[in-house]
Amino acid sequence: MKKIVILFSGEGKNLHNIIEKLHGSVCEVSCAITNKADAPGLQGLHAKCPMGIKSEILEHTKFATREEYDEELVKLIKSYNPDLVVLAGFMRILTPVFTQNVKSINLHPSLLPKHKGANAIEESFKSSDKEAGISVHWVSDELDGGEIITQTSFLKSEDETIESFKARIKELEYQLLPETITKILYGL
């Protein structure tokens, strides 16, 4: 069975969704790695996966440079020998030390190349764009600039609130990311 490693920083909702939809049937989630010891997703991971998906904490604050952190992260990932690494809410700007040594994809909450970076949802919501959506792309040296693998979108509504907009983005993420992982792993 193909193996993946998932990187996350926060609540881990996409992490949990991937585990629920893919672990044990499509692939094995070998490890979930976070850069924050207090990431809420860790508690959810242990509650939802008592069968023991391994988790690792590698805090970026304990390293002097991004490169030093990425070097250690690459070593940790390679120790699991994954077929693919999935960034699911991993809120780190990665250096070439990572991007040139790890085959990875990233989920981004906008229709790239528009609205790159951490404020993509808010920027997309406030924009005059008639359409919004999400992208899954290969991780490259350029922030949110790697080759787009797949995208999906919806038409924005005039009476939309930021809360309803975020909910629509999440709904698309929960569907598209597992589908994309499956396609990459098995060439479908």
- Taking the C-alpha atoms of residue 161 and residue 156, their distance in angstroms, rounded to an integer, is 10
CA 117 to chain centre: 13
Q: Look at the block and give the residue holding tokens 């609130």.
A: 161
Q: Which tokens belong to 42? A: 């860790």
Catalytic residue among 16, 23, 60, 108: 108
The DSSP code for 51 is T
Verify cis geometry, omega within 30 degrees of 0, for the bond prior to 113: yes
Catalytic residue flag (residue 108): yes
Residue 90 contacts residue 14 (beta carbons within 8 Å): no
Distance of CA 80 to the CA centre of its chain: 18
Locate tokens 């629509």: which residue? 168
Cross-strand bridge partners of residue 85: 5, 104
DSSP 5: E
Local structure of 82: helix, strand or coil? coil
What is the C-alpha to C-alpha distance for residues 81 and 102, in angstroms, rounded to an integer? 10
Catalytic residues: 108
